[in-house]
Amino acid sequence: MSIEAVDLHGEIVGEGPAVLLLHGFSHGLAYWRAQRPVLAQTHRLILADLRGHGQSPAPDAAYGHAEHLADVVRLLDRLDVACVHVIGTHTGAGVGLLMALEHPDRVASLILEGAVIPGAAMASVDDALARERRITAERGLDAARADWFTLPFFDGARRGAAADEMRTLIAEFSGVPWQSAHAPEPVRPVAERLAGVRQPVALINGTEDLPEFLDVARLLERSLPHASRYAIPDAGCFAAWERPEAVTPLLVRILEEFD
């Protein structure tokens, strides 16, 4: 299969070393609303809406990590950006990890929140996506979006002060990936290649994150040669959203170390 990359919507703010920020499934670049003004004081931020999200195209196509990576590389080519620090959450973290494996010269470092391993099964995620595909088919996208926000991934976000903002972010999600019948491009097994990642990697999880995500973080910490882990107290799956007062200064410190 060949991937037909799409032109992503991106926003650029700040000056300095380039940092690419990649959101997770059902979000958009607004996920980084708390980190954006702070990090832009010292870095050139490239905030992207992944395909099917925000203002980016939502093609009748596949929505796997390989497809997202092809789109991101196309965006960086369009901007004439050779190398970036990557900050990614969930799906965006998987895209960043795959980028370090497939395009190592284009990645200076990785900061991964709620990391996933591209191509590897995660029961909680796979089951949730299958659930929303069924709801979309039976009751429509609005019902699926509403149900999605009730799932355990969002327990911390629902309790926080920005719960309504997250609800709005999901309400604006196109939902097209739940409707797509296209199989994603297969990804070469990642686990056996992790020892070859030469970039420094920071792994971030909330202490209340779901067990599967904590297991992935532990696996990556063991397998990546230059990895460090950070635990954010009283945060769940989306620590940067739920506890920006803790995560944003941490990102500043990590970027200072990685620059």
- Taking only the tens place, the pLDDT of each residue in 181-203 is 999 999 999 999 999 999 999 99
Q: Is the pLDDT of residue 1 over 60?
A: no
Mean pLDDT, the chain, rounded, equals 97
Q: What number is the average pLDDT over the span 114-122?
A: 96
Residue 103 clears pLDDT 90, i.e. is over it: yes
Note whether residue 127 is domain-resident: no
Residues 108-124 have a mean pLDDT of: 97
Query: Distance between terminal CA atoms of the chain?
Result: 37
Question: How many domains, in total, are found in the chain?
Answer: 1
Inside any domain, residue 147: no
Supply the pLDDT for residue 94.
Answer: 98
> By three-state DSSP, how is residue 125 classified?
helix
pLDDT band for position 2 (cuts 50, 70, 90): confident
Q: Helix, strand or coil for residue 37?
A: helix
Tokens 């997250």 identify what position? 166
Q: Residue 104 corresponds to which tokens in the numbers above?
A: 């190592």
Task: Give domain status of residue 85, yes or no.
Answer: yes
- The verdict on residue 62 lying in a domain is yes
User: How far is the C-alpha of 130 from the C-alpha of 1, rounded, in Å?
Assistant: 23
C-alpha separations of 125 from 3, 130, 148, 198, 247 in Å: 24, 9, 11, 28, 24
As a whole number of angstroms, the distance between CA 53 and CA 67 comes to: 13
Q: Is the pLDDT of residue 219 over 80?
A: yes
The answer to whether residue 168 is domain-embedded is no
Domain with 211, as residue range(s), is 10-120+180-258
Count Cβ atoms below 10 Å from residue 4 Cβ, excluding itself. 12
pLDDT digits (tens, 9 = 90+) for 21-61: 999 999 999 999 999 999 999 999 999 999 999 999 999 99
pLDDT surpassing 60 at residue 209? yes
Residue 24 domain-assigned (yes or no): yes
Residue 155 domain-assigned (yes or no): no
Asked if the structure places residue 143 within a domain, the reply is no
Per-residue pLDDT, averaged over 110-129, amounts to 97
Domain of residue 49, CATH code: 3.40.50.1820
